[in-house]
Amino acid sequence: MKWALAVLLVACSSSGDGTYDFASSKGAALYQDQCQVCHGETGEGGLGPALRDSKRSQGDLTTIIAMRMPANNPGQCTGDCASELADFIKHGLTTKALRCDAVPPGPRRLRLLTRREYRATIHDLFGMPALMCARATDCGFRDTCTSGACEATPCDAQTFVYDPHGQTLHSVHVAGDFNHWPMTIAAGGLPLTYDASTGLWSGTFAIGEGAHLYKLVLDETTWIADPRAPAQQSDGYGGQNSVLTLSCTGATTNDVAANFPVETRNASFPFDTDSAAALVTSAHVDAYLDAAQAIAAKATCGDCVAELGEKLFRRPLTDDEKQQYTALGGKTALAAMLMSPSFLYRSELGAPDGHGHYQLTPYEVATALSYTFLGTTPGDDLLAAAAHGELADAKGIEMWARMLIADPRARAQVGEFAAQWTGAINVTTADKRADLYPDFNAATRQSLLAETRAFAADVVFDGDGTYASLLTANYTVLDPVAAKFYGLPPGHAMYDGTRAGILSHASVLASMAHSDQTSPVKRGLLVRRNFLCEDLPPPPPQGGNLPAVDPNATTRERFSQHSSAPLCHSCHEYIDGVGFGFEHFDPVGRWRDTENGKPVDASGNIEDIERLGTDTQGSFQSVPELASAIATSQAGPACFVRQYLRFSRGQRETLADRCARGWVQAKWAGDVRELMVQSVLSPDFLERR
């Protein structure tokens, strides 16, 4: 690809020959927080002028910063702040200081388990429900296996799963009193979809509250009771009907993390893994205590504290720990372990290497690998590998990385990354007017989110595996509910040219729209931030609100004020031109040819696609053309590397991390699985400052 050489050149000419300590520099931190958005990551320029190798004196820079910067809030940085920034610009933003002659280790934080990781960990340790799953049959009858986790199906819907145990079938559908017992799919049977990777037929459908009777129909000829249904009732003909009861009154969940506080996310870090934001509050403590007591009450924990402790803490217990927990005994010891920071946090502290840095222990490496690739705690085999010294060097790490990627749970982790990277994860809570979009219910939202997760996993593990295909593939993967929403067949559905790749998923489009209207701003910012890694300054206080709704105007016509108002134009020229390209998709992501009786104009332009201030642009007429432009740019693939490293490392990159990122970019040629491997082979993976 044309961007691969450019990435290599950037990586070879860009950070830390030891003359400037970016990690400990207060000025570097201030620059990233206040200046980078306009002047570029390394002072290369953007919306503001270039600062690299500045010819101004440090005194002049200090005065300018104190009087005029930042541009949208002058006077915010004075005194020591201005002095620190000026010193950094003069000594840190130089060609010499920014060279990458080596990959120095960067700082790391303790990482609190996310709710998602906590669920998966408890499931793998104790086999409890509402947690990780490889197949739908791993979950309870009222739950569905979504992105590797057992999640509660919406209260008015049901996930049906049938395991044929190797029997070859052409169709399986659901017939019951809720759809008038149809013999065939054409007559109204609810069709299940076959998944070759699991060998199961499944589908989620909004049935409605109440008690229902139903059967599964195989090949439109054989009627059977659902083997997974918890209750049966005579059908009056010598057979059995399955009983299904749905109620949204007093609905409960078996989710052990249901009461945990939701992770904080911001626009520039869309992932739940942000270690900087994971601060434990009193609400966390109360929720952790309740969960620990509930788990201990249900779990069969045995008497061997040392064995259980090694699994919970992901390392052997110290002698003092063995003594303390043994004294507590049984379920009390288990509850205490579940409340310990050694369980709740992923340790990456390491041990001193004698050269001022810290080398991760083999058990910390095992933990990092397992949560990176599988989203869960390391298994016995990986802990044994740590104990036997198999994770002490790059060769052992690469071997285990490739083994873990081959684990079925890695599919779910890739799907989760895609759902968070694209913002699709927000579709389940996006505000929509029920009177305008009555079928955009809980079951539909879950199915659309499942589409994005399944599509990403399919491209990465079953397709060509490339980043480009995530953006440009001419197909998607739909369950029956999502298929009905789009008007396409379930399974692998081909597009007709109006959509391409993940940017055209309704989960993404609906998440970036208002309750009753589209949003060129939200959709344009999504592309800039999540797909090109270009941040823009916040709007000025007098920037105004959304243009008023006009039933006689299109969204494009209403937002034209952004082009004419000087306060708006400087930023919206980079946003709206991209966002208008999505106007063929309504607020829930369905296709439309007209808006308010007028033809939709979905042409657009990407100003400065490679980087703000580079005068690189291209026009497009559709989302497929926009997606192709991003996929073939230099900025798009480079941003994808950043986003994956943010997700897997749990922190936003700093100048101290830039060389490591450049190393990964230079090693990568577009295959997503290879990016995953290279991310843990980077020289900084085993070390920290």
pLDDT, one tens digit per residue, over 63-105 is 999 998 887 778 889 999 999 999 999 999 999 999 998 888 8
- Copy the structure tokens of residue 209: 């509250």
Query: What does each C-alpha distance from 682 to 372, 645, 655 come to in angstroms?
Result: 14, 11, 16
> What pLDDT shows up at residue 5?
34
pLDDT beyond 80 at 156: no
Does CATH place domain 18-91 in 1.10.760.10?
A: yes
Point out the least confidently predicted range of 337-341, 414-418, 554-558, 633-637: 554-558
pLDDT beyond 60 at 14: no
CA 87, distance to chain mean position in Å, is: 37
pLDDT, one tens digit per residue, over 610-640 is 988 888 887 899 999 999 999 999 999 999 9
Give the bridge partners for 244, in sequence order.
212
pLDDT, one tens digit per residue, over 195-244 is 888 889 998 888 887 888 999 999 999 999 999 887 788 888 888 999 88
> What pLDDT shows up at residue 8?
37
Is the overall model pTM greater than 0.85, yes or no?
Answer: no
pLDDT beyond 70 at 24: yes
> What pLDDT shows up at residue 143?
74
At residue 605, the 3 state secondary structure works out as strand
> What pLDDT shows up at residue 129?
47
- Are β-strands 687-688 and 157-162 bridged in parallel, bridged antiparallel, or unpaired? unpaired
Q: If you average pLDDT over residues 553-574, what whole number do you get?
A: 72
Of 4-13, 395-404, 559-568, where does the model show the most confidence? Answer: 395-404
Domain limits, the chain:
18-91, 363-407, 422-508, 512-621
> What pLDDT shows up at residue 1?
41
Higher-scoring residue by pLDDT: 141, 295: 295
Mean pLDDT of the chain: 88
Q: What is the dihedral of CA 457, 462, 468, 469, to 10 degrees?
A: -90
Contacts of residue 90, Cβ cutoff 8 Å, sequence gap at least 6: 54, 58, 61
Q: How far apart are CA 344 and CA 112, in angstroms?
A: 6
Confidence of residue 419 (pLDDT cuts 50, 70, 90): very high
Contacts of residue 416, Cβ cutoff 8 Å, sequence gap at least 6: 116, 147, 148, 375, 453
- Copy the structure tokens of residue 42: 């390394």
> What pLDDT shows up at residue 614?
83
Q: Which residue has the tokens 């936003």?
A: 652
Cβ count near 666 (within 10 Å): 18
pLDDT beyond 90 at 443: no
Torsions phi, psi for 40 (to 5 deg): 90, 155
CA 659, distance to chain mean position in Å, is: 24
pLDDT beyond 80 at 564: no
Q: Which residue has the tokens 């033809």?
A: 599
Q: What's the DSSP call for residue 585? A: B
Q: How far apart are CA 190 and CA 186, in angstroms?
A: 9
Percent of all residues in the chain with a pLDDT value above 90, rounded to a whole number = 60
At residue 90, the 3 state secondary structure works out as helix
How far separated are the first and last CA of the chain, in Å rounded? 34
- Copy the structure tokens of residue 435: 């009177």
Confidence of residue 11 (pLDDT cuts 50, 70, 90): very low
pLDDT beyond 50 at 658: yes
**Helix, strand and coil percent figures for the chain, each rounded to 5:** 40, 15, 45
Contacts of residue 256, Cβ cutoff 8 Å, sequence gap at least 6: 118, 119, 122, 128, 130, 131, 291, 294, 295
Q: If you average pLDDT over residues 263-267, what whole number do you get?
A: 84
Confidence of residue 532 (pLDDT cuts 50, 70, 90): very high
Confidence of residue 388 (pLDDT cuts 50, 70, 90): very high
pLDDT beyond 50 at 479: yes
